[in-house]
Amino acid sequence: MRNLDLFIRLGGVLHLGILIASALTPGVLDWKRELDKLRPLSRQLVWVHGAFIVLTIIGLGVISLVAPAELASGTTLARAVCAFVAAFWLCRLGVQFFVFDAKPFLTTALLKLGYHGLTIVFIALVAIYAFAALAH
């Protein structure tokens, strides 16, 4: 499925693109000041959890870029990995819509564009990987 390979490759690029927003998050949310209010262990947990999420996104992106044909192959493992990626981003969308209240931070047109752009990227990732998991 050549077209599916291309979509999975696009998914890889989108994963790595998300890292741009991840790099900007600490500044936009003023983590330096906000996290200084926490005890050291709580502050460290926030940074460690953030680092593991970044590593996960990097891993999903790299796997999608180096092995798109394998992910599109329809094997049980490929379908399971694609289903996991779709579920990961579907959960992230759920958090975005039902848990986070980003409105106080969307103070400029650029921040609003970035927030809504990320929402579109998350939807695209769910669609790409859910299709790859269910296509066969």
What tens digit of pLDDT does each residue of 42-97 get? 999 999 999 999 999 999 999 999 999 999 999 999 999 999 999 999 999 999 99
pLDDT at 1 over 70: no
Identify which of 130, 125, 127, 129 has the alpha carbon closest to the alpha carbon of residue 15: 125
Mean pLDDT of 15-36: 93
